[in-house]
Structure 1
């Protein structure tokens, strides 16, 4: 579409921006904007608006949306303060679990993007470093990799299902009291509390219980091998 000879196609119209020099663009600047907006809210249009440019200007640097999100995944993971790898395998596994939980909580929507863009170079380096440390602490090559893989998969699954969890909580809270009680009638002592905590309780303690059960399994395996 043209007005008085000017091209006003949507992709070429400059959004209003504050006065001052135009902001230079780079893949790193675009990735930073994604992290600032948040993975769950970031889109090419939203990032362009954040940077004060037309969204078509971004494609020179990102290729497509996946390229933009991959750069943001790398930026977020490379700039996060991961814990020092020291101590025995159990301490490292607990510290790394807490760090990944903090990271995913800090970056809503991050986990969902991994299915599309995969692990960033920084993520691959970190997981390799942790696995090598676990191996140096006495875990087998297989167990050192599987231990971290299980921790990350469990955390990612919890954060990936956060919206589903919110819907379940709302459905439970909206049930008539008698109907809700009917689902739990006749259950053994203690089971009711566990089920309620699993459904609507704080997910962090539930995850820690899973992790402790997993660690107990590793300790048992090591004891059988005589290396605990």
Structure 2
């Protein structure tokens, strides 16, 4: 009787064609499930069911994990098209970024560290700046306008995540040291929807861009 030939097993007994346990997509999914606060390489390894050391074959560390997730988040966002004038475009871009930060707590604090490592973030910033060039901005002014809007969204959102409204002990202490008329306004800001405060700040920033950076 003819002996049936079998295909030899691959390394560690893994059958040929079996997908690897760790892939870029699986890593990204794990980071997004875990969330950014408290994310570690060890936590990602546990989430994937692999050894901590084996994960370093795929990423260089925590910042690399965050950059993978940031790529996914930015690539999937509904960024506005550069139509309707530069102010509408900047406001729409800022609003989309705020929505992303809302959907992913902790992302605002991470972007300053990990955005430079994210190819998709660099690509998005290039598209952002190029759109402003199309509106007639000088290159230096386009870069500054982009930086102002992105920093504003990230800084305000990160601060709002750290402060637990008017009941936050640090905020309450600060309010108590203010003059009565300022204290009431300060407390009202803390109690309001963070997005409304961000949009007020954004209006001031856009007015400044109109006065000092935008083309005539």
TM-score w.r.t. length of structure 1? 0.73
Q: Summarize the Cα distance change of 1:133–1:174 in structure 2 as closer, same or farther, 3 Å threshold.
A: closer
1:111 equivalent in structure 2: 108
**Kept in 1: contact 2:160–2:194 (CA 8 A):** no
The structural deviation recorded for 1:173 is 8.6
TM-score normalised over the length of structure 2: 0.77
Q: Is the 8 A contact 2:152 2:202 kept in 1?
A: no
Deviation of 1:183 (Å): 4.3
RMSD: 2.9
Structure 2 counterpart of 1:207, from 170, 192, 198: 198
Cα distance in 2 for partners of 1:217, 1:78 equals: 29
Q: How does 1:190-201 map to 2 (within 5 A)?
A: 191=182, 193-201=184-192
> 2:157 corresponds to which residue?
159
Return the offset for 1:209.
1.1
After TM superposition, the structure 1 stretch with the greater mean CA deviation from structure 2, 142-151 or 111-120, is: 111-120
| Pairing partner for 2:43 from 25, 46, 53 | 46
1:217 aligns with 2:208: yes
Which residue does 2:90 correspond to in 1?
93
**CA deviation vs aligned residue, 1:105-139 (integer Å, no higher than 9, x gap):** 11112232234333311111111111121222133
Q: Is the 8 A contact 2:67 2:114 kept in 1?
A: yes
- Greater Cα shift, 89-98 or 160-169: 160-169
Offset at residue 172 of structure 1 (A):
7.3
Deviations 1:152-191 (A, max 9, x none): 111111222234322763227978xxx95x8443x3xxx5
How far apart, CA to CA, are the structure 2 residues paired with 1:203 and 1:121? 30
Q: State the SS of the aligned residue for 1:61.
A: coil
Query: Take 1:71 and 1:150, find their aligned partners in 2: how far apart are those partners?
Result: 24
Residues 136 and 56 of structure 1: CA distance in aligned 2, closer, same or farther (over 3 Å): same
Mark the CA change 1:222 to 1:49 in structure 2 (over 3 Å): closer, same or farther: closer
Aligned length, in residue pairs: 197
Question: Contact 1:27–1:62 at 8 Å: present in 2 too?
Answer: no
Relative distance call for 1:173 and 1:130 in structure 2 (3 A) is closer
Deviation at 1:192, TM superposition (A): 5.2
User: Do the aligned residues in 1 keep the contact of 2:31 with 2:39 (CA within 8 Å)?
Assistant: yes
Give the equivalent residue in structure 2 for 1:6. none
Aligned counterpart for 1:132 among listed residues 108, 130, 133: 130
Give the Cα–Cα distance (whole angstroms) in 1 for the partners of residues 172 and 155 of structure 2: 25
| Residues 23, 51 of structure 1: 8 Å contact kept | no
Aligned residue for 1:121?
119
Structure-2 change in CA distance of 1:60 and 1:75 (3 Å)? same
